[in-house]
């Protein structure tokens, strides 16, 4: 990934006649839980924010869910996310939006991305597809827009394990302005609960392999463990690791925690250096009424 360019929101190909621009919001973790687990999310099921990583990952949800998140970056920049899912029989409807605001000194004002997904679940498998809209507005008022789509396939072995693959950035179309740099990304992941997730102790591991068009293959993953009482109250700790490109300035480790209550949960994640070269604190709130 051209992460050195991301921090400056620079064109992806400065020498081209019509250089593409990088939508940084699509390179950042949407969910706080995913951010704490090294950015892995394609095989993490059970929360609405998973729709940004893999549309089919929301299929195991049995009820309506809502997830909100805020990430605080340096110099007044910040990222907000909201997502929701609704299951109707074998179908699940899901969607969400991300908004990235840049510092006042940046040449880019903001990034916006929203996604709308439809998922079908049959037996242990689920197939999902979505439409994703992305826009970048600079300080001169120019808005660059594009539409793309994603596909996802998830096999959830009850509550024990999940195997998933997602292909992002299929058939990107430029809507207005300059071309957006949105390469095709293929993600293959596996999540395993080492202990019964219905019991009091919790221990989960996730590993993900990522192939980005025109870039090097990389691995990300993380561990999550803690205790949740039979009454639905508990605490979880998370740690993640990721392969990062040389010279990117990113820290390869992340960490976080979660508080679990009946019907909702609170999440926190921390990374010492993000794409802006600064520490980032993320807070999330999940509802399952």
pLDDT at 84: 95
pLDDT at 247: 60
pLDDT at 3: 38
Contact 168, 189 (CB under 8 A): no
First CA to last CA distance, the chain: 39
DSSP type of residue 38: T
Domain boundary assignment for the chain:
3-287
pLDDT at 10: 46
pLDDT at 125: 93
Mean pLDDT by 10 residues, the chain (289 residues): 41 51 89 94 90 92 88 86 93 95 88 96 93 94 94 92 96 90 95 94 97 90 96 96 76 94 95 82 91
Looking at domain 3-287, does it have CATH number 2.60.40.1080? no
Angle at 186 between CA 172 and CA 38, to 5 degrees: 115
Handedness of CA 133, 142, 282, 224 (dihedral sign): positive
């Amino acid at each position: 990934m051209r992460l050195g360019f991301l921090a400056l929101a620079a064109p992806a190909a400065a020498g081209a006649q019509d250089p593409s621009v990088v939508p940084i919001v699509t390179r950042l973790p949407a969910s706080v839980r995913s951010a704490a687990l090294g950015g892995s999310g394609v095989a993490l099921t059970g929360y609405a924010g998973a729709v940004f990583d893999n549309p089919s990952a929301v299929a195991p949800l049995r009820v309506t869910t809502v997830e909100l998140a805020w990430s605080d970056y340096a110099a007044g920049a910040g990222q907000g996310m909201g997502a929701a899912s609704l299951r109707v029989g074998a179908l699940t409807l899901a969607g969400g939006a991300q908004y990235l605001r840049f510092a006042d000194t940046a040449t880019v004002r903001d990034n916006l991305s929203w996604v709308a997904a439809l998922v079908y679940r049959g037996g242990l498998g689920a197939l999902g597809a979505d439409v994703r809209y992305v826009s970048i507005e600079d300080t001169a008022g120019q808005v660059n827009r594009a539409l793309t789509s994603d596909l996802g396939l998830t096999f959830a072995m009850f509550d024990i394990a999940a195997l998933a693959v997602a292909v992002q950035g299929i058939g990107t179309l430029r809507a207005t302005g300059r071309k957006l740099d949105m390469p095709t990304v293929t993600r293959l992941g596996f999540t395993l609960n080492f202990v019964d997730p219905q019991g009091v102790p919790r221990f989960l591991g996730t590993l993900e392999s990522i192939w980005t068009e025109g870039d090097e293959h990389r691995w990300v993953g993380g561990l999550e463990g803690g205790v949740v009482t039979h009454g639905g109250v508990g605490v979880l700790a998370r740690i993640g690791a990721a392969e990062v490109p040389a010279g990117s300035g990113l820290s390869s480790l992340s960490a976080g925690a979660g508080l679990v209550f009946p019907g909702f949960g609170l999440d926190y994640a921390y990374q010492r250096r993000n794409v802006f070269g600064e520490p980032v604190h993320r807070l999330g709130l999940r509802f399952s009424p």
